[in-house]
Chains A and B, each alone.
Chain A
Amino acid sequence: MTTPPSRALLIIVVVLVVGMLIPVGYVIEATARIGIPELAALLLRARVGELLSNTVLILLLGVPITIVLGVGSAWLVERTDLPGRRFFSIVSVAPLAIPAFVSSYGWASVVPSIQGLGGGLLVATLAYYPLVYLPALATLRGLNPSLEESARSLGLTERAILLKVVIPQLRLAILGGGLIVALHLLAEYGAFAFIRFDTFTTAIVVAYQTTFAGSSAASLGIVLALLSVIVLGMEATARGRARYAYVGSASARPAELVKLGKLAPLAILALSAIGTLATVVPMTSVIRWSLATTPDLLDDLWRALIDTSLLSLSGALGAIVVALPVAWLATRHPSRLSRVLEGGYSIASSLPAIIVALALVTVTLNVAPGLYQTTATVTAAYIIIFLPRALVTLRAGLAQVPESLEEAAQALGKPPFIARMRVTIPLLFPAIAAAGALVALGAANELTATLLLAPTGTRTLATQFWSAASSVDYPGAAPYAISLVLLSIPAVALLFAQTRGKTR
């Protein structure tokens, strides 16, 4: 019994979606402009073949490894009698607070010879496995234990229950988490550039630095965009008709824990090893270098903090303003049209940051040169890149505010606008705050788009870190690295709380 949305809301959402799709339009326009023959000439080179094999290999190897690490940790901390489960449940999410490029820097200063595919795999899988761990943990917490009990009463062994009941229900979490890891691997610049592992993203940045937004960068961008679309398509095919819905209502009883017995020390050893490699090793070198820092850096750090805060806050506000109409349309007026519009948002946001940046550079220079390298353009990039964080949070928040409350307010004599202000907005406030925090903290760590788009003279923590670290000024980079990690902790805590609170 859904009512059709108002015309104004539809127009707003359509305009926003069109704006969000600028990077997609850029890729299509670039393909048409360069033309297939020249594109072939640019791409059919041994160098591009090497990039392609690197990028595909890191996807094919990296995604399964993160799935094994993520699902395994989630199962151990949620469903077994592992000693110190609570501690390990936090250890497994901690790597998210360390930006991958910081982790890469930490590893490189411990093992200077680290490089290539092996180095890329090591750093990236350890940095990204929490992206599978979190949805797997949420699903495991939400699973109804009576399903497993039914299976047990039907005569299945513990092993068979794990394979036939638990894992199939984790399918959506695995696919969703795997998709996010794959998109991160495609988009990662800093972590790979630092250890000289070349992918399309790193090659595009190099091409941009040498030939600016010319056809060389554009043609590599087209392939990268195509790879993202292929990843999206594979995930959609594997998912089939299933949806990423909330995992049912809270389960009435906690599940019976699996006894690890003699395997417990082994499990503790494995989780400790992963935690050490993912968190302790990079953080130790960050801290070690920061002890060698000279105090005169503090002024620069202070400036970078201010610049970072301003840019991230404007990104957060922008993302909330852009996400709210779509979230409203999707929850209050669900229809085929609203799903199509939402689909537009998700395609736009799954393109790697480097493509978004290239598109905005090209569009501003050609259409509105006054906007080139301004705060407005960086903000636009942050909105496009981090929109899903805001959208998911706001949608969940709106779903918690039933329309009947607004109706009740109207029946009590309040006009619709007042009803919304006095009932819906106060109830939505926690979700708005959480959405803003997640986007702001993401933006504070953003490197690729910020490097290309930030106004000249703007120094964010990420760009300052990068310029110091890439010129091998390890002590100079350390204070920024610590600040980045500290800034990330609240966002990770928020995500972790959302994951745990959602189902219990």
Chain B
Amino acid sequence: MNLHINGVSKSFGATPVLSNINLDVAQGSRTAIVGSSGCGKTTLLRLIAGFIKPDRGEISLDGRVLSAPGRDVPAHRRGIGYVAQDGALFPHLTVAANIGFGLPRTGRAQRVLEVMELTSLNATLATRYPHQLSGGQQQRVALARALAPRPEVVLLDEPFSALDTGLREQTRAAVITALERSGTTTVLVTHDREEALSFGDGVAVMIRGSLPQSGSPESVFGNPASVEIAALMGSVVLLPAVQVEHGVDSVLGRISVRHDRSGGAESVVAMVRPSQVSLTADHSHCGASVVGVRHIGPTAVVALRTQGQHPTAISLTLPSHHTQSLHVGAVVGLTLDGGAVLYPASAAGRYFTELEN
């Protein structure tokens, strides 16, 4: 294990921000920490960088203790690169001087050119000043600057959030390529679940200052440890369900169980993703009425209300041309593909979409 975080807690005054954080990041891997704003993910990154000190717990890198009770390696001796949200480029220095800031004099120019190439920065930008660059270029310079001294780990704090949509995709792709080519261990912090799921090898979910689940993107998305995590990682359809042999019964019929996280609770809900649900013409088996259709360019969001004893709201995003025959009041059939994850009904709370009769 390369970066090792063990039992780290941090408060600002009387406000606890992080409690008992445990995280391992493997050598050369890319891990994304995802959470809503204010959950403490930036604080965790700043603790790893060494800008602030933890109250409790230990942070080590390759067995070298960076931070532990009574011991603290200052930020400048950690060998950890950091890319701030706004890039934090030195406004009084050129691109080349920014990138070369952390390098020894000998071989500096050579290395600057190397990392500019690595981060797909045109060499003609070297003499520009930060304010003469576009937002995407600024972020790539910030990454180049962080990678230049060959840090063991580089930390990215929402590096794409200040960019507008098109530029964000493009910059993200360039950054991932550069990171891949340099083979640097990377920790990214983001509030964007798609960014987190597509970033790399690991995803850690942060909720109100703790990390309740981490693992591969597939496992965190496919087998979330709680309803809250399931909802944080993507849209959910929660169905009241009754446990039977080989599965559960719900308004969508019998569903197989992929993962049972109900802990033996009597009353359970089955979590499926909207992408598992599809429309059929045959509604004898399992019907739902259309409540609303909203077109968003090439897709349409169809709001449905299931028929039967426990009406449930389901909203599906479908290609627009599949929804032409749908109008409010129409009755459609629903089929489900794949299995569900079971949770105790009591834990479903506000995510539960069962409607009042």
Contacts and interface: CB of A to CB of B under 8 A. Distances in A.
Interface residues of B, number: 29
Contact of A407 (B49, B92, B148): B49
Interface stretch (A222-230, A345-353, A411-419): A411-419
Interface residues of A, number: 20
B74 interface: yes
B86 A407 contact: no
Interface stretch (B75-83, B216-224, B298-306): B75-83
B86 A404 contact: yes
Given A407-B82, A407-B84, A408-B82, A413 B90 contact: no
A426 B76 contact: no
B101 interface: yes
A237 interface: no
B46 to A, nearest CB: 8
B77 A413 contact: yes
A423 B75 CA distance: 16
B74 A427 contact: no
Contacts of A404: 84, 86, 88
A415 B74 CA distance: 8
A405 B76 contact: no
A207 B263 CA distance: 90
A342 B88 CA distance: 29
B200 to A, nearest CB: 21
B91 interface: yes
A220 B78 CA distance: 63
Contacts of B102: 409, 411-414
Nearest to B81: A411
Contacts of B52: 3
A404 B158 CA distance: 14
Most buried by A among B75, B80, B142: B75
A1 interface: yes
B90 A411 contact: no
A419 B92 contact: no
A415 B75 CA distance: 8
Given A402-B88, A427-B92, A410 B145 contact: no
Nearest to A4: B13
Interface string B222-254: 000000000000000000000000000000000
Nearest to A407: B51
B51 A415 contact: no
B92 A410 contact: no
B146 interface: yes
A117 B43 CA distance: 62
The CB with the most chain A CB atoms within 10 A, among B49, B52, B102, B148, is that of B102
A427 to B, nearest CB: 6
A411 B74 contact: no
A413 B82 contact: no
In the A-B complex, list the 4 residue pairs whose CB atoms are closest, starting with the nearest.
Answer: A412-B102, A411-B82, A410-B75, A404-B88
Given A408-B84, A409-B102, 7 more contacts: A1-B12, A1-B43, A409-B101, A411-B49, A413-B76, A413-B149, A415-B76
29 contacts: A3-B52, A402-B86, A402-B88, A404-B88, A405-B88, A405-B90, A407-B49, A407-B82, A408-B145, A409-B90, A409-B101, A409-B102, A410-B50, A410-B51, A410-B74, A411-B82, A412-B102, A412-B145, A412-B146, A413-B76, A413-B79, A413-B149, A414-B76, A414-B101, A414-B102, A416-B76, A426-B92, A427-B90, A427-B92
